[in-house]
Amino acid sequence: MNEIIFLVEEAAEGGFIAKALGESIITQSETLIELKEMIKDAVRCHFDSNHLPKMIRLHFVREEVFAV
């Protein structure tokens, strides 16, 4: 596998949640710096060393609602 993509959203209670596309990986943290480390750790735990992705891509999703 060359890369794995995570959707990153702001959590309602604060911090961030990251969900992998096509894999059963989800993690969260309070800061973006910590989130990147948590994602790396989750990917290492999910895949064996022979199948680790070479790259992790983060896709930031932000929902915004406002009145007309």
Asked whether the predicted pLDDT for residue 1 surpasses 80, the reply is no
Phi, psi for residue 13 in degrees, rounded to 5: -90, 5
Task: Give the whole-angstrom CA distance, residue 53 versus residue 41.
Answer: 12
Q: Output the CATH code of domain 3-61.
A: 3.30.2390
Over residues 21-39, the mean pLDDT reads 97
pTM of the complete model: 0.88
Q: What is the mean pLDDT of residues 8-16?
A: 95
The domain ranges of the chain are 3-61
Take residue 6 and report the two structure tokens written for it.
């995570």
Q: Where are the alpha helices (DSSP H) in 1-68?
A: 32-46
Return the amino acid letter for 28.
Q
Percent of the chain predicted with pLDDT > 70 = 100
- Lowest mean pLDDT segment, chosen from 1-5, 18-22, 24-28, 53-57: 1-5
- Chain centroid offset of residue 54 CA: 15
